[in-house]
Amino acid sequence: MLSTSGCAWMRLGISNGWQLMRQFIGDWFWLLIFFALVAGFGFGGWSSSGETKHWLDSFFELKLTDLVIAIFTVVLAIKTSGLFVETAGLRAAAEKQSQDMERSIRAATDAVGTAIAANQIATTTSQQQLRAYLTAKEINLNVIRGPSMMGAYGPIAGAIHTFAIAPVVFNGGQTPATNAVVNSSTRHFPGPMQDDFDFPDSEHYGYGVIGPQSEFHGPEANIPIADVDPALGGIWYLWGWVEYDDIFTADTRHRTEFCFEIMRSRRPDGTIWLGFRPTPRFNAVDGGCLRPIDPATGRSGQ
């Protein structure tokens, strides 16, 4: 029983033998024909038989040019058959090369598509990281006092009669927020805010451009100190919103909503302390807002 390697060598030997035979037929067989005809022509005159000699004489009553043409025709036919075989091989090689080229083109196209998608993702990610993000960072509190009085050791500050409070909007992004509009409102409730409260707008607006990592103070709301006396009970709230554009998506407007409960207490010295605590409702951005921006109009559902 032949081994696998023995069978392989046998197939290789048969293949090589066939190639050698084809080369012999294609390159040398016509020479054998030529020499055979020449030999027949030469030896034909040596035959002593009259009948044979007559036949040979008749057969070889050919011109030399006829003989050359005949030999050339045979050689041309043999070479043409070889050319056909070689042409078939070239055609098969060309088809294979065409298929390889198509695969290469598809691979290159896929690679370009992947690169474009990766670039779009990188661009979007970069824009999301760099664009403006506005939030209500804190509430700014100012006091408004009455006229000062002169005391024994100098002026004495007047009594506080009004608190001026305003939202402080902070841009946490790396690029400016343009066309920013801020609105804020305050109201006293006898108890916790109702669940169906719709946070209406006020007449207090602020406008501006907010640079990266910068603050913007919204409109102030003045509340008389007597109205925030803890003894009156109830709860005060401050709410509002800011709408703005970023420099990457001029056709997409952004919105941030904010709401704070105003905490109150009276200190031992009789002064009133105010603090601000975010509420669960009306604190959101963009699509999570209670009244998000309508992409068709660029305005919120006010």
Residues 57, 44: contact at Cβ < 8 Å?
A: yes
Examine the pLDDT at 11 and tell me if it is beyond 90: no
Amino acid in position 46: W
Q: Give the span between the Cα atoms of 145 and 126, in whole angstroms.
A: 49
Amino acid in position 135: T
Kindly give, in sequence order, each residue whose CB lies less than 8 Å from that of residue 145, ignoring residues fewer than 6 positions away: 157, 158, 159, 160, 161
Give the pLDDT confidence score for residue 102 in this predicted structure. 84
Q: For residue 279, what pLDDT band results from cuts at 50, 70 and 90? A: very high
Read off the tokens for 263.
Answer: 């905490």
Report, as an integer, the average pLDDT of 187-198. Answer: 95
Q: Give the span between the Cα atoms of 282 and 291, in whole angstroms.
A: 9
Give the pLDDT confidence score for residue 38 in this predicted structure. 52
Q: Environment class of residue 210 by beta-carbon count within 10 Å: exposed (0-12), middle (13-18) or buried (19+)?
A: buried
Give the pLDDT confidence score for residue 57 in this predicted structure. 56
Greater confidence, 103 or 239?
Answer: 239
Q: For residue 5, what pLDDT band results from cuts at 50, 70 and 90? A: very low
- List b or e across 45-70, with b for residues whose CB sees 16 or more CB atoms inside 10 angstroms: eeeeeeeeeeebeeeeeeeeeeeeee
pLDDT per position as a tens digit, 27-50: 555 556 655 555 555 544 444 445
Q: Give the span between the Cα atoms of 32 and 71, in whole angstroms.
A: 11
Give the pLDDT confidence score for residue 56 in this predicted structure. 53
Q: Give the span between the Cα atoms of 230 and 227, in whole angstroms.
A: 9
Reported for 4-11, long-range contacts at CB under 8 A and 24+ positions apart, including other chains, are none
Examine the pLDDT at 200 and tell me if it is beyond 80: yes
Give the pLDDT confidence score for residue 8 in this predicted structure. 47
Whole-prediction pTM: 0.61
175: Cα separation from own chain's centroid: 22
pLDDT per position as a tens digit, 211-230: 999 999 999 999 999 999 99
What are phi and psi for residue 232, nearest 5 degrees? Answer: -80, -15
Give the pLDDT confidence score for residue 178 in this predicted structure. 95
What is the H or E stretch that residue 17 is in? Answer: helix 4-43
* For the chain, percent of residues with pLDDT exceeding 70: 69
Examine the pLDDT at 1 and tell me if it is beyond 50: no
Examine the pLDDT at 196 and tell me if it is beyond 80: yes
Read off the tokens for 181.
Answer: 């509009």
Examine the pLDDT at 109 and tell me if it is beyond 50: yes
Report, as an integer, the average pLDDT of 143-171. Answer: 91
CA angle 111, 112, 114 (to 5 degrees): 65
Torsion of CA 32, 35, 39, 40, to 10 degrees: 60
Examine the pLDDT at 139 and tell me if it is beyond 80: yes
pLDDT per position as a tens digit, 54-98: 555 555 555 556 666 767 676 676 667 666 666 767 777 788 888
Place of tokens 């011109």: 63
Examine the pLDDT at 14 and tell me if it is beyond 60: no
Place of tokens 């993702």: 121
Examine the pLDDT at 105 and tell me if it is beyond 90: no
Greater confidence, 247 or 23?
Answer: 247
Give the pLDDT confidence score for residue 288 in this predicted structure. 95
Report, as an integer, the average pLDDT of 203-213. Answer: 96
Give the chain's mean pLDDT.
Answer: 80
CA distances from 73 to 34, 37, 59 (A): 12, 14, 19
Kindly give, in sequence order, each residue whose CB lies less than 8 Å from that of residue 256, ignoring residues fewer than 6 positions away: 134, 135, 136, 169, 241, 242, 243, 284, 285, 286, 289
Greater confidence, 40 or 258?
Answer: 258
Amino acid in position 197: F
